[in-house]
Chains A and B, each alone.
Chain A
Amino acid sequence: MRANFGKASAMGDEAPLYFYTHLFLAHPETRQMFPVSMAHQRDRLFQALGEVVARVDDLDSLVPILQQLGRDHRKFGTVAAHYPAVGASLLATLEHFDDGWNEQLAADWTAAYQLVAQVMVEAAESADGPPWWDAVVVGHERRTFDVAVLRLQPKEPMDFVPGESISLETERRPRLWRYYSPANAPRPDGLLEIHVKAHDGGPVSSALVRQVQVGDELRLGPPVGHLSFDAESDRDLLLVAGGTGLAAAKSLLDHVTQHGPPRRVDLFVGARTEEHLYDREDLERLAAEHSWLSVTFAVSEDSWSTLEHGHIAEVMMRGGPWTSRDVYAVGPGPMVEDTVARLVAHGVPRQRVRTEVFAPSRPSPTVDGEVTS
């Protein structure tokens, strides 16, 4: 099976192109579940299949992944009846690109696919909560050239853990889902605040920042945990945030505000220049309201600023000591790595430093459909 899969995946884009063409012709009703441009979808398909094939001997690690996939696929409108259609097209594709295709391979792949489909369907059917949430945009503020803060009102209550992310889709960019972190803990009125940075050429983020208006409807997928927040811990908190990673940090901060008992919170927020500190006003208000909170802003490329100068991890280390803290670092990759390295050297146990890297959900494509960084 691996050799057979290798032959198909060696064909690059051709194999997934064949697969989707076959699927859409055999089952035209499946086309509307996919975005207009399929270039990135094609990359993803074989990547996901490759993961399944690589772990086919290790069901213990494969099953949870498939269950998660099955639950998450509900938001695309996937139902049990779609699975055999995908299976038939997959087999046709694997057969098409393999001269040595035989009955045994067909039987093995059929059995493997049936298992995968069964796990995903069962997980989807037993999942709690709606497949997706409809939400209305009730606030939209452009804070900088390319950052906006959106306030969303889900029509059904949505429960999540602070620091979790939700995927969302706007009708302006149908079938393109991107992950964002709410910048608050769950509230009685259900409001969610999200921070969006428009990436150059990024279809969804640009639309969310520059086009979406109050009154627009969005679809939200089920919350997913990336940053595992330990709400039970009574340790004081050190939060280090860069870019829109601030949203996740603010979510933890909001949890402490709402639920106490007051844990001391030191929040460090970094940006290139003062203009990029898009949420400064609100953070200063919070710092003034709560004696247990300190907020430090730092700029790395702004010689005129009266704020602290330097990269945020460097600025954070001017304070301290932080050895007793629960640490959460969220932001661009290099910032997170820098923070972890400095804190570990400082003596904070690695398991008490929890991180999430905020990056564009995918790099923009070139004209040839190649992915660049």
Chain B
Amino acid sequence: MSIEQRGAGGAGGRLSPADVQSVTFSRSTMLHPGYSDAEVDRFLDRVGDELTQLQQENAALQEQLADLQARLESVESRPAPGEQAMGILAAAQQTADQYVAEAEAFSRVMTSEAREQYEGQLRDAREKAGAIIQAAQEAATGAVAADAESRPADPNHPDAEALQRQVVYLQAFGQACRVQLRSYLEALLTDVETEWGRATPEALPQPPLRSPAPPNRPAVEAAPAESNGAAPTADASATDREPNVVKSVSGPQR
């Protein structure tokens, strides 16, 4: 029986169409008519395996076909450029590259020389201007000194020297006040910054103190007013300059 030899469910060999056409199954028993269940099941298993394998092979072949077609298209739709054409285009491109590079190099030299010349002239002009200003100042100081020597002490201003001393004193006093206040504020700010720098954002329930600049000015103005009645005029003009200095010129005020 072909079933027994080739086996409806038997092992070995791939299943051929002829196998399926010629398959025979033995009868079971008198009690249980029909084909043997076990043989039919084994055969169906083989048929299933075979179909799976065929489908996989089919898919792989399809993929290979698409791949080959794609490569074929990319190769054949455009004939590969000839060696001579390649040589000509490459040479033309290199020539163009070189011209551009030369133009850029030329422009680089031109602009850097122009800049040097420009900055050099500016520097010279500034030095000359500086020298002229200095000479003028010296001349002015000399003239004032000569003037003062030639003129006798003015009887209308007997206290000129005393006033001068007072002005110097007040200036020094104002300066000292500012220095002390500034170092106090700096220390305060350093504490705040350091603490804040150490703290994690989560540990910080309230936004910490910001913008310490505003309290600066009234405090400076108030201090001399309380301690010395004569000071405010001279000192207020000094503090008026402060915000400008801080913001636009000298910057790191702390």
Contact = CB atoms under 8 A, between A and B. Distances in A.
A88 B86 CA distance: 15
Contacts of A36: 96, 100
B111 A268 contact: no
Contacts of A203: 104
A290 to B, nearest CB: 10
B17 interface: no
A289 to B, nearest CB: 10
Interface residues of B, number: 54
A27 interface: yes
B102 A320 contact: no
A79 interface: no
Contact of B105 (A20, A262, A296, A366): A366
Contacts of B80: 26, 92
A38 B91 CA distance: 12
B72 to A, nearest CB: 12
A145 B118 contact: yes
Interface stretch (B18-26, B173-181, B208-216): B208-216
A24 B89 contact: yes
Nearest to B94: A17
Given A145-B118, A347-B197, A84 B101 contact: no
A180 interface: no
Contacts of A206: 107, 111
Interface in B189-215: 189-190, 193-194, 196-198, 201, 207, 210-211, 213-214
A148 interface: no
A304 B96 contact: no
A370 to B, nearest CB: 9
A366 B102 CA distance: 7
B117 to A, nearest CB: 11
Given A25-B81, A88-B75, A367-B101, A304 B112 contact: no
Interface string A287-329: 1100110111110000010111000000110111111100000
B115 interface: yes
A324 B112 CA distance: 42
Interface string A349-373: 0000000000000001111110000
Interface in A120-157: 145-146
Nearest to B197: A323
B27 interface: no
A236 B194 CA distance: 13
B122 interface: yes
A198 B251 contact: no
Contacts of A315: 251-252
Counting chain B CB atoms within 10 Å of each CB, the highest count among A18, A21, A348 belongs to: A21
A36 B101 CA distance: 11
A159 interface: no
Nearest to A346: B197
A98 interface: no
Given A234-B207, A347-B197, A307 B246 contact: no
B194 A323 contact: yes
B108 A201 contact: yes
Interface residues of A, number: 63
A62 interface: no
A364 B104 contact: yes
A291 B211 contact: yes
B93 A84 contact: no
Nearest to B248: A284
Interface string A175-209: 00000000000000000000000101111001000
A287 B248 contact: yes
Contacts of A292: 210-211
Nearest to A203: B104
A198 B207 CA distance: 44
Interface string B128-148: 001000000000000000000
A308 B108 contact: no
Given A20-B93, A88-B78, A295-B251, A200 B111 contact: yes
A110 B102 contact: no
A319 B198 CA distance: 19
A170 B106 CA distance: 21
Nearest to B252: A319
Which among A24, A200, A318 has the greatest number of chain B C-beta atoms within 10 A?
A200
B81 A369 contact: no
Contacts of A219: none
B196 A21 contact: no
Given A296-B250, A324-B197, 20 more contacts: A17-B94, A20-B93, A26-B81, A27-B78, A37-B100, A38-B93, A200-B111, A200-B115, A287-B247, A287-B248, A288-B247, A291-B214, A295-B251, A297-B249, A297-B251, A315-B251, A320-B252, A322-B193, A323-B194, A348-B197
Interface of A: 17-18, 20-22, 24-27, 36-39, 84, 87-88, 92, 110, 145-146, 198, 200-203, 206, 234, 236, 262, 264, 268, 275, 284, 287-288, 291-292, 294-298, 304, 306-308, 315-316, 318-324, 347-348, 364-369
26 contacts: A17-B94, A22-B86, A24-B89, A25-B89, A38-B97, A84-B74, A146-B111, A146-B115, A200-B112, A201-B105, A201-B109, A202-B104, A203-B104, A206-B107, A284-B247, A284-B248, A295-B251, A296-B251, A297-B248, A304-B130, A308-B250, A308-B252, A319-B253, A319-B254, A320-B252, A369-B98
The 4 A-B residue pairs with the shortest CB-CB distance, nearest first, are A296-B251, A319-B252, A201-B108, A323-B197
